[in-house]
Chains A and B, each alone.
Chain A
Amino acid sequence: MSKKVIIPIGPYHPLQEEPEFFRLFVEGEKVVDIDIVLGYMHRGIEELAEHKHYDQVAFLVERICGICSNSHPFAYVNAVENIGKMEVPERALYIRTIIAELERLHSHLLWLGLAGHFIGYNTVWMWSWRYREPVLDCFEMITGNRQHYGMMKIGGVRRDIKDEDVPVLKKTLDELVPALDMFKGAVMDDPVIQARLKGVGVLTRKQAIEWCAVGPTARASGVDIDIRRDDPYGAYDKVDWNVIVEKDGDIFSKTVVRILEMYESVGIIRQCLDRMPKGEIDANVKDIPPGEGIGRVEAPRGECFHYVKSDGTNRPLRHKIRAPSYMNVATNKVAAVGQTISDTTITLAAVDPCYCCTERVMVVDKKTNGKIMDGLDLVRLSQEKTEKIKKALKQ
């Protein structure tokens, strides 16, 4: 029993839909340590962003993540608008908020399904994904796409919400609420689910603050933070809603926070649809002045942060992104250790990790001890490799 065994979860594993590598050090059934290895999906988005002009970057950052594909462009346009202190038409703010909240609905439903799948409850998985479909249909109706909506634009939004679409949206929401009630009952009252999730993967309030947890992961541990309220953007300061906070920090609380947040999202969308003024949806921004700007957005997984530095040209000089999962995945180091393998798998999934967002890459030279390759070196390496391949092809 005392022999340490390494159980690999990843890089390719049925638990995860994306490649990520967790090495569990196991004694018997108990996990004594965990090693988190990132970097299987690095695509160099920040470097790419510095080689595209401002309008293209909105589409580029949308491709960072497939699930919260609105949060990144939303944070990016917030950052760019922050540079020039631009005024955005009010209708555009409301439309942005509606899209962001619809996204939260579909993202939380997706997580709920996956969480069910991870504890072997495939019925919850299929059911919650079934009720996620109408939300995606709404996206298709408004934006033309089920994912990657392409709605965010510096100074406004690309597409308007048509008047005839509003009743359809409201009807979808009305039909979604009974489904949410059902999930609430099925999860919060089921004794077997409670036995599996209560007291498991506990992240205390102190640990959540120390490990910089954000979003639902932090709110389930009793940390009352929400960018939508603390630093309002979009139309969040013009509607009434509550921040859901739970105290226990276990996986059950994380589930409850997400389910209750979906009710808030439904409320926000309804109010936005009612209060949305008529008018322009685009401020027709022509130039980005030199300067720096930050944009913060409460993505379904937590705070998404973008920093953009402009030198007055049509391309960002520097673009820095911090996705919420980067903070939340690290909390597994405290939340997952000391449990059985069964509990660890659901704990790893409970932060709703999004690995595409999280990827970082760094090359360390062991001989000189600490010499790090930077982005330029990597670009040079890649160009050299391409040249080599080209030569090999010619021969």
Chain B
Amino acid sequence: MSNNLWQYRHLIKRLAISDFKVRYKNSVLGFFWSLLEPLLMLLVLYVVFVDVFPSTQKNYHLFLLLGIALWDFFTKGTSMGLQAIISKPGMVRQVYIPREILIFSSSLTALMMAVLEIGVFGIFMVISGVMPTSTAIYFPIIFMIIFILVFGTSLALGALNTYYRDVQYIWAVILQAGFFASGVFFDFSTYESDIKGLLLLNPMARIILISRESLLYNTAVSSWDLVFCFASSLVMLLVGYLIFMKLEPGFAEEV
């Protein structure tokens, strides 16, 4: 697969950029519109958890925004991957390209969007007077792990959704549940429960947790956490790849 991806790098670049442009409607305003959603989410959650249920978290707005941005990367990435095959019927039926390219370029588009959101998060950090410390060097690694996770999940979802169109509705519900289970608005390190261990099997929960440690709380990320996240993203990539390759031969007939 990596061979194909390299051979078609021009196409991948071209597709990722054109999707990115379509997303932002070729305008600067489009870019601000896309940030409106996470920022509104920030506002709502901030009001709820500062005013209604006061949170004692230091710099809670940054804590929230980082969680929202990373969760958004996963949500947007997998939702775009889900549509990547069926939204380009011409490129499946009328020409032959290795179809994993469509999924990969959709994950790349999500990556570009996530980089922008993290950029906005960075601006908020600076405004709030919080400077990243040396533990921030873990963050790019964590970011790449999310990318692998998004790509692997998208391989599975994009292929399944081509055959069964209700996978997109099922996935939307799973994402809703994931938003509450991944600690976007609460802190797993202070949360005590019998099912905490179970919830932390969700790689996104652990990813958001260690991202905050590295970027906001000057805490070195434990190697166990890093290995767990990396390994689970690789497992997802393998599972996604196997599902994708099993279903790929019939795409042109099902799309």
> Do A and B belong to a common assembly?
no
